[in-house]
Amino acid sequence: MTRNADPVQERVLSDILTQNSQTEYLRRFKLNGASDRDSFKSKLPVISYEDLQPEIQRIANGDRSAILSAHPISEFLTSSGTSAGERKLMPTIKEELDRRQLLYSLLMPVMNLYVPGLDKGKGLYFLFVKSETRTPGGLLARPVLTSYYKSEHFKTRPYDPYNVYTSPNEAILCPDSFQSMYTQMLCGLQDRHQVLRVGAVFASGLLRAIRFLQLNWRQLSQDIETGTLNQKVTDPSLRECMGKILKPDPELARFVRHECSKESWEGIITRIWPNTKYLDVIVTGAMAQYIPTLDYYSGGLPKACTMYASSECYFGLNLNPMCKPSEVSYTIMPNMAYFEFLPHDPNSAGFTRDSPPKLVDLVDVEIGKEYELVITTYAGLCRYRVGDILRVTGFHNSAPQFHFVRRKNVLLSIDSDKTDEAELQKAVENASRLLREFNTSVVEYTSYADTKTIPGHYVIYWELLVKDAANSPTDDVLKQCCLAMEESMNSVYRQGRVADNSIGPLEIRVVRNGTFEELMDYAISRGASINQYKVPRCVNFTPIMELLDSRVVSTHFSPALPHWTPERRR
């Protein structure tokens, strides 16, 4: 496939356009059954999610006509990217599962080229399903991994010695995140000598598992000692399945207690699972912030980033998975969708009607250049901007390899949440309303994703203008401001706080007056232009953090969980 990347791409496009030729969408743009690149490129516009909102809404409301795809939309995959505060709904069709499965099936053969003997043990993977809802028209809406784990592809997968997990399906499929994590950890501890790789989807998920062990090792050791299951695990099918797995093992219980009660948790992963050859977690993109913590807990084990995928489409895999995180490149698989690349110029003001963007085909991208990924999928997304910025690092045969640079417009991210500048601005505005009765306003603010705590949390630095010192806002008021900010965040953030426990309480750090002026002076001393200086709305450069932290006069944490339910607000 990578040798024939261009012909494969041409065929994929032709297949998609032929399959969907009678859809309302392709007819609207008068493709008239054409399936060649030139007609496609000249007639179809490059779009974003917002452009498709009306069609998506109609499908969600139950319109089963062939709007985007000739094949029936089987469900919606809920992306962690949001639109108007709610997860984007990505239409998918049944056959997409086969395509995703194909990509998964390539992962271990690639890994096997670099790490021998992975068929001689097990993988300890912390995998979870999340809540699902139905749209008004009755279609399921759930995250892509939930859809995959609940599919027959996953549940009834044939035995494969390279893909034996310590976690039973019942534990992965348990909707209660505590019970799921508890039993997955218990099985991982019980099989500790057999574990050859430890993983989660994202780095943040693996660290959450370590934190879980820190909080629950006493109960876990108790269960191991007696061979019984903690009463907090109530799911009947999980209890039944664990009943068959658990065996009393006092020696293992002693070992776990001994290791976990030590003051230092440095290298805990290799102490408990001594045969681990690598961590299987994504540490590229926003997840790079977790590399030092993972290194601390694992004694610097290799971190394999195996694939690059999304709710819209699975893109490709890392053909050199044991490389350093900074060198990870993903090879886009030419059979997954039709891929185009929008040259990305960070300094350009964008595109206008008169200067439409010139998109480049998969095999025509140039090494060293940055592009935004644009996809056309079998499920009916046409020339859809994913929002990821990629840099070409090389080629595998004729298929290009990409470094994931970043996702556009993301200011803060702890787990799968993505908060942009407008959302943060709105949150600050909403929270600062609580300060009005104290004659106080927020004169400047910036933010920081603090990942030193597990789970990580958002820190917002506020410089306040207090007009009446005798009536300045109290700690209680500022705590309420933290909560008000959390209430304003998008649903992925709030789900992370409430259901997944993947994000900790938001913190406001009030800095003393004049701090943001000092910040500007610092930037100017480093060469920023006075005229063009803008307060950075997110910071992570150590000297700036040190400056801000040295000026903190008080800190306040959100005292409660924000509101969240699986149902969409709209």
Among 20, 74, 79, 135, binds ligand AMP (CB under 6 A): 79
Does position 311 interact with ligand AMP (CB under 6 A)? The reply is yes
- How many residues line the site for ligand AMP (CB under 6 A)? 17
- Before 455, cis peptide (omega within 30)? yes
Tell me whether residue 314 or residue 445 sits nearer to ligand AMP (CB atom): 314
* By the rule CB under 6 A, 407 interacts with ligand AMP: yes
Asked if 404 touches ligand AMP (CB under 6 A), the answer is yes
Shortest Cβ 293–ligand AMP spacing (Å): 17
Q: Is 371 in the site for ligand AMP (CB under 6 A)?
A: no
**What is the nearest approach in angstroms of ligand AMP to the Cβ of residue 507?**
25
Mask of contacts with ligand AMP, 506-545, x by CB under 6 A? ----------------------------------------
Among 248-256, 301-309, 425-433, 467-475, which window interacts with ligand AMP (CB under 6 A)?
301-309
Q: Does 388 bind ligand AMP (CB under 6 A)?
A: yes
**Is residue 374 at the binding interface for ligand AMP, with CB under 6 A as the rule?**
no
Among candidate residues 16, 19, 13, 20, the one with its CA nearest the CA of residue 36: 13
81 binds ligand AMP (CB under 6 A): yes
Residues 6+ apart with CB under 8 A from 73: 59, 91, 92, 93, 139, 379, 380
Report the first-to-last Cα separation within the chain, whole angstroms: 42
Smallest distance from the beta carbon of 167 to ligand AMP, in angstroms? 21
* Residue 23 in the binding site for ligand AMP (CB under 6 A): no
Q: Which residues contact 122 (CB under 8 A, 6 or more apart)?
A: 164, 165, 166, 191, 194, 195, 196
CB 123 within 8 A of CB 163: yes
- HEC readout, 438-502: HCEEEEEEEEEEECCCCCCEEEEEEEEEECCHHHCCCHHHHHHHHHHHHHHCCHHHHHHHHCCCC
Interface pick for ligand AMP out of 12, 309, 319, 360 (rule CB under 6 A)? 309
Query: What length does the chain have?
Result: 570
- β-strand 122-126 against 195-202: which pairing, if any? parallel
285 lies in the binding site for ligand AMP (CB under 6 A):
yes
Q: Which is nearer to ligand AMP, 71 or 407 (by Cβ)?
A: 407
Q: In sequence order, what DSSP letters do the residues of 273-330 get, joined into one string?
A: STT--EEEEE-SGGGGGGHHHHHHHHTS--EE--EEE-SS-EEEE-SSTTS-GGG--E
CA-CA distances (angstroms) from residue 516 to 15, 422, 511, 560? Answer: 56, 20, 9, 29
* Closest separation in Å from C-beta 359 to ligand AMP: 18
Dist CA 135 CA 59 (whole Å): 9
Burial zone of 9 (CB within 10 Å; 0-12 exposed, 13-18 middle, 19+ buried): buried
In a 13 Å sphere around the CA of 419, the CA atoms on its Cβ side amount to 29
**Taking CB under 6 A as the rule, does residue 413 contact ligand AMP?**
no
Contact between 391 and ligand AMP by CB under 6 A: the answer reads no
Q: Where are the beta strands (DSSP E) in 109-263?
A: 122-126, 133-134, 140-142, 195-202
**Binding of ligand AMP at residue 376 (CB under 6 A)?**
no
Stretch that binds ligand AMP, among 48-56, 228-236, 290-298, 304-312 (CB under 6 A): 304-312
- According to CB under 6 A, which one of 111, 144, 294, 374 is a site residue for ligand AMP? 144
CA distance 62 to 76: 12
* Sites for ligand AMP among residues 150-189 (CB under 6 A): none
User: How near is the Cβ of 97 to ligand AMP at its closest, in Å?
Assistant: 15
CB closer to ligand AMP, 278 vs 404:
404
Beta strands in 152-215 (DSSP E): 195-202
Binding mask 245-284 for ligand AMP (x = CB under 6 A): -------------------------------------x-x
Name the residue nearer to ligand AMP (CB basis): 282 or 392.
282
- Compute the least distance from the CB of residue 59 to ligand AMP, in Å: 18
CA 132, CA 525: separation in Å to the nearest integer? 51
Strand bridging mode 338-343 / 370-376? antiparallel
* Distance between CA atoms of residues 66 and 29, nearest Å: 15
Smallest separation (angstroms) from ligand AMP to the CB of 435: 34
Q: Is 216 in the site for ligand AMP (CB under 6 A)?
A: no
308 binds ligand AMP (CB under 6 A): yes
Task: Give the one residue of 268, 272, 305, 332 binding ligand AMP; rule: CB under 6 A.
Answer: 305
By C-beta, is 41 or 406 nearer to ligand AMP? 406
479 part of the interface to ligand AMP, by CB under 6 A: no
Q: Which one of residues 82, 184, 190, 416 is an interface residue with ligand AMP (CB under 6 A)?
A: 416
Does residue 107 interact with ligand AMP by CB under 6 A? no
Beta strands in 333-436 (DSSP E): 338-343, 360-361, 370-376, 384-396, 399-407
Structure-token pair, residue 232: 């907090």
Look-up of token digits 């639109």 = 83
Q: Report if residue 310 touches ligand AMP, rule: CB under 6 A.
A: yes
Residue 386 near ligand AMP by CB under 6 A: yes
In the complex with ligand AMP, the residue whose CB is nearer, 19 or 146, is: 146
* Residue 56, helix vs strand vs coil: helix
Strands 552-557 and 507-511: antiparallel
Is position 496 an interface residue for ligand AMP (rule: CB under 6 A)?
no
Look at strands 140-142 and 133-134 and give their pairing: antiparallel
Handedness of CA 253, 257, 260, 262 (dihedral sign): negative
Please pick, from the candidates 9, 23, 69, 80, the single residue that binds ligand AMP as defined by CB under 6 A: 80
Minimum Å gap between C-beta 330 and ligand AMP is 6
CB nearer to ligand AMP: pick between 213 and 389: 389
State which residue, 538 or 544, has the beta carbon closest to ligand AMP: 538
Please identify which residue in the block is written with the tokens 């999610």: 49
Give the binding site for ligand AMP (CB under 6 A).
79-81, 144, 282, 284-285, 305, 308-311, 386, 388, 404, 407, 416
